[in-house]
């Protein structure tokens, strides 16, 4: 595969950093952004010919066009976006002020939309890909997550509309699952008083038992997809579950189940029972990742 150019938000840590490292290791070029400059500077130092960065606040209305301009001036094009940034502030709906809603939507919704709009012309030229990092909370309700979950549901809908309106662009929304990131720490430290007890306890237990995903698990999958997208999945929202989307054994199981005309399998505890077309999307993603 020839070298491609990607813009990645929230690239200083967690899933965004994992996506960036994977793409760099595959000899691609990246323009990365986050509020913290030091991790970005480190990546630039270790990969001087592959990395450009802007440290800044993602809600800055000038940042999207600056990122796109930097990618084009430095590397000549934009092949894909990974819209990875976001924030979670656990608080019940009745207790969340309108200003707090605006803050979360500015970060989780409007800044991502602004970047996609800024890059749309370049993505048409490259027949590129947008990966919207979504969440299981877009489809499953968690107490005290109304602002976060609804913001991710907006991503899913926007992604699907872009797929319909822009036939040359692949746009997908992917839920990464429960990943051991700073956001998980926030919900454990701030969510106890407002979250449903059983739901809160499940997150604490996942950390204590060491069953949270490493950022590289969903990160590598997302990086591989944005670099080599499967057009048939454009417009879809699907969850990341390692054993369900990697490996030929899963593909064989899917083929057998579809042949037998069986019902909908369970795909990932975070989303529960998904509809058949989403299940088929999982199988198609597995095929993409096994190529």
- Give catalytic residues, as residue numbers: 134, 148, 152
Per DSSP, the three-state class of 57 is: coil
Nearest Cα to Cα of residue 241 among 278, 267, 279:
267
Torsion, Cα 36 179 156 257, to 10 degrees, reads 150
Per DSSP, the three-state class of 52 is: strand
Sequence-ordered list of residues with C-beta below 8 angstroms from that of 277, at least 6 positions apart, any chain: 236
Q: Which string of b and e fits 125-136 if b means at least 16 CB within 10 Å?
A: ebebbbbbbbbb
Query: Which residues make beta-bridge pairs with 58?
Result: none
Torsion, Cα 62 63 66 67, to 10 degrees, reads -160
Distance CA 6, CA 209 (A): 35
Sequence-ordered list of residues with C-beta below 8 angstroms from that of 71, at least 6 positions apart, any chain: 5, 7, 31, 52, 77, 78, 122
Contact 108, 242 (CB under 8 A): no
Through-space distance between the first and last CA atoms of the chain, rounded to whole angstroms: 12
Residue 50, φ and ψ in degrees, nearest 5: -115, -15
């Amino acid at each position: 595969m020839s070298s491609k150019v990607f813009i990645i938000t929230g690239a200083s840590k967690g899933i965004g950093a994992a996506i960036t490292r994977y793409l760099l290791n595959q000899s691609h070029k990246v323009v990365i952004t986050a509020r913290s400059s030091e991790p970005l500077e480190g990546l630039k130092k270790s990969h001087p010919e592959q990395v450009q960065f802007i440290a800044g606040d993602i809600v800055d209305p000038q940042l999207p066009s600056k990122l796109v301009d930097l990618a084009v001036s430095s590397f000549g094009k934009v092949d894909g976006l990974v819209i990875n940034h976001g924030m979670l502030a656990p608080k019940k709906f009745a207790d969340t002020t309108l200003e707090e809603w605006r803050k979360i939507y500015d970060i989780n919704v409007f800044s991502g939309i602004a970047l996609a709009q800024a890059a749309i012309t370049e993505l048409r030229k490259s027949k590129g890909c947008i990966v919207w990092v979504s969440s299981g909370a877009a489809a499953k309700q968690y107490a005290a997550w109304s602002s976060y979950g609804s913001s991710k549901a907006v991503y899913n809908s926007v992604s699907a509309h872009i797929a319909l309106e822009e036939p040359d662009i692949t746009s997908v929304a992917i839920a990464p699952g429960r990943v051991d990131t700073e956001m998980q720490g926030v919900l454990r430290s701030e969510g106890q008083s407002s979250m449903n007890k059983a739901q809160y306890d499940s997150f604490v237990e996942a950390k204590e038992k060491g069953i949270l995903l490493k950022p590289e698990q969903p990160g590598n999958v997302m990086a591989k997809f944005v670099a080599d997208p499967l057009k048939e999945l454009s417009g879809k929202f699907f969850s990341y579950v390692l054993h369900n989307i990697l490996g030929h054994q899963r593909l064989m199981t899917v083929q057998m189940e579809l042949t037998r005309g069986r019902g909908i399998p369970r795909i990932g505890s975070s989303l529960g029972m998904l509809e058949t077309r989403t299940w088929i999307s999982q199988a198609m993603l597995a095929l993409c990742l096994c190529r």
